[in-house]
A = this chain, B = another copy of it.
Amino acid sequence: MPRPSDTKQRIQEVARELFARQGVQRTSLQEIADRLGITKPALYYHFSSREELVRSIVQPIIDEEEAFLMGQEALGEAEPRALLEGYFDFHYRHRRDIVLMLSELTTLADLGLIDLVLNWRGRLVKLLYGPEPTLEQATRAVIAFGGLQDCTIQFADVPKDELRRVAVDGACAALGIEPQRETRRRA
């Protein structure tokens, strides 16, 4: 029964699940097709190559993180807690795909996206401490941002708002910032 089908999206859904569970490399097109009860070449009707399927899953998240960073950079030097909260929200929202990307750096390399992703940490540090941070500042930032990321992955079952509060508090502590309740600036 032709005319609009949702097969393309269903392929992406199954692929995300299998990629996350057993890795991109270990997931064959055959396996994805079998899950959906279609044939392997049917995938090629919707995606011109295996690489395009992988990219279609990864690229939107990359684009969104890139947009987040560019938005923050446009503001000049950031207010730390607001930056941490924005970072947490983004990573919490995409935690499933983030863990996929972190465990598939070689896949990102294949897609030519690895340099972009590896530069994110550096850009975050610069947002907090300017273009030439000290080693102390850089390590604190790595601990804070890495810690937020880890928390969104590790405590996937904790309600978002509760996790957000304790995780951002922890990141603030790592940075040596007194935790103000939620984002509120005073002149």
Chain A residues within CB distance 8 Å of chain B: 22-23, 25-26, 102-106, 109, 121, 135-136, 138-140, 142-144, 146-148, 150-151, 154-155, 158, 162-163, 166-167, 169-171, 173-176
* From B22, B147, B176, contact of A142 by CB (8 A): B147
Contact across chains for A151 and B173 when beta carbons are under 8 A apart: no
Contact across chains for B135 and A142 when beta carbons are under 8 A apart: no
Given A143-B143, A143-B146, A174-B174, 15 more contacts at CB 8 Å? A23-B106, A25-B25, A102-B103, A103-B104, A103-B105, A121-B154, A135-B163, A139-B151, A139-B155, A139-B170, A142-B155, A143-B151, A143-B174, A144-B147, A146-B150
* From B106, B144, B174, contact of A26 by CB (8 A): B106
* From B104, B142, B155, B176, contact of A151 by CB (8 A): B142
- The 29 listed contacts between A and B (C-beta, < 8 Å) are A22-B106, A23-B25, A23-B106, A102-B102, A102-B103, A103-B105, A103-B106, A135-B162, A135-B163, A136-B166, A136-B170, A139-B147, A139-B155, A139-B170, A140-B170, A140-B173, A142-B147, A143-B147, A143-B148, A143-B151, A143-B170, A144-B147, A146-B147, A146-B150, A147-B174, A170-B174, A171-B174, A173-B175, A173-B176
Do A150 and B155 form a contact, CB below 8 Å, given A26-B25, A176-B173? no
Kindly provide the distance from the CB of A94 to the nearest chain B CB, expressed in whole angstroms.
18
Interchain CA distance A163-B138 in the complex, whole Å: 11
Kindly provide the distance from the CB of A7 to the nearest chain B CB, expressed in whole angstroms.
27
Interchain CA distance A140-B139 in the complex, whole Å: 16
Interchain CA distance A136-B154 in the complex, whole Å: 13
Interchain CA distance A61-B151 in the complex, whole Å: 25
